[in-house]
Amino acid sequence: MGMPDSPRVPVETVNFHLWQPCNMSCRFCFATFRDVRRTVLPEGHLERADAERVVAGLAEAGFTKLTFAGGEPLLCPWLANLVTLAHRLGMVTSVVTNGSLLDEAALARFHGVLDWITVSVDSPRPQTLQLLGRTTAGRAIGGDEYLALFRRIRELGFRLKMNTVVTAGNWREDMADFVIEARPERWKVFQALPVAGQNSGRVDPLLTTLEQFEDFVSRHLRVEPAGIRLIPEDNDVMTGSYAMVDPAGRFFDSVDSRGYTYSEPILRVGVHRAISQVRISRVKFLVRGGLYDFTPEPEPVAGLLAADESGRM
């Protein structure tokens, strides 16, 4: 994973939260970006051409893996175009999604250009998801639906990750059997993070102690002998260890307890000047396992089945 000699970006991977709108209302969400929409970006996203310029700038600066996040990135009508651009520019591509819009047509659009799909699953139990607000039009995805989706993702040759946020609503649960059946390559387990201006007030009843978070992690270590890498990230590990771009095309960090700190826009000052205005620790990035073999794997044996434009998995 070569990096340009000069100048250097501090880490190899970057998350582009390109789309503020979301079709879920998770009470713990620390990427609502309501402040961005209220102050600088009324629509909650850049125009397509500007988003493409941000992607091109990130590639030129030396990032080797680009993750598209939100909000819910699959609400973006030109997400496939951005993924294709990043792929063409030589970046490993990834999308983080709540999974509600990953039907056959969406998977077909990403075939051949998207390397990783990360699905956020906080519980296989719909009643827990209802409590957390991870619902669409009041409906939560069930465990069997998630498993069917994961099987299809793997059949089509995408590499699979799963994200789980540990809260007061799920820290006592045992998801190990579900995760082993889901078979993600990597399972990232986050401690619910309070961020001023993002989830203030809503998240407070859902916060866990470090001991509760560690209890959840220890209960699930048995997924590792099944070949699933469990990556726990408590609040300290998470903050300052990611390169992140907001919907307005600015780097931001979560080191300050008063909320996110934003750089000047990348499209105005360039990637290197913008990233110098936020705090990213390469040491913390490496400690949390941010650098791993994320390069694409060979094409799968199973072929891409015809997409059903109307059906969802």
Which structural domains are found in the chain, ordered by start? 13-287 (3.20.20.70)
Q: Which residue in the list 22, 85, 117, 193 is annotated as catalytic?
A: 22
> Would you say 166 and 214 are in contact if contact means Cβ atoms under 8 Å apart?
no
Neighbours of 6 (CB within 10 A): 7
Both tokens of residue 81?
Answer: 């175009």
Using 50, 70 and 90 to split pLDDT, how confident is the model at 8? confident
Give the residue carrying structure tokens 């209802």.
130
Crossing angle of the two packed helices 48-61 and 79-88, in degrees rounded to 10: 30
Q: List, for residues 187-226, the tens digit of each pLDDT value.
A: 999 999 999 989 988 999 999 999 999 999 999 999 999 9
pLDDT in tens, 60-92: 999 999 999 999 999 999 999 999 999 999 999
How does pLDDT run across 143-198, given as a tens digit for each residue? 999 999 999 999 999 999 999 999 999 999 999 999 999 999 999 999 999 999 89
| d(C-alpha 185, C-alpha 238), whole Å | 20
Could you tell me if 17 and 246 are in contact, meaning their C-beta atoms sit under 8 angstroms apart? yes
Yes or no: say if 20 and 198 are a contact pair by the CB < 8 Å rule: no
Pairing of strands 92-97, 116-120: parallel
94 torsion bin: left (phi>0), alpha (psi -120 to 50), beta (else): beta
Is the confidence at residue 139, as pLDDT, over 90?
yes
Q: How confident is the model at residue 295 (pLDDT cuts 50, 70, 90)?
A: confident
Specify the pLDDT at position 257. Answer: 67
* pLDDT above 90 (res 307): no
Q: Catalytic: 76? A: no
Is the pLDDT score of 312 beyond 50? no
Among 11, 14, 29, 121, the active-site one is 29
**pLDDT value at position 1?**
40
* pLDDT band per the 50, 70, 90 thresholds, residue 256: confident
CA distance 169 to 158: 30
Catalytic residue among 9, 26, 131, 175: 26
Mean pLDDT of 294-299: 63
pLDDT-based confidence at residue 297 (cuts at 50, 70, 90): low
Spatial separation of the C-alpha atoms in residues 101 and 78, rounded to whole Å: 14
Full-model pTM: 0.90
Average pLDDT across the chain, whole number: 91
Segment 19-40 mean pLDDT:
95
Report the percent of the chain where pLDDT is more than 70: 92
Give the mean model confidence (pLDDT) for residues 42-46.
95
CB 232 within 8 A of CB 241: no
Distance from C-alpha of 310 to C-alpha of 272, rounded to nearest angstrom? 43
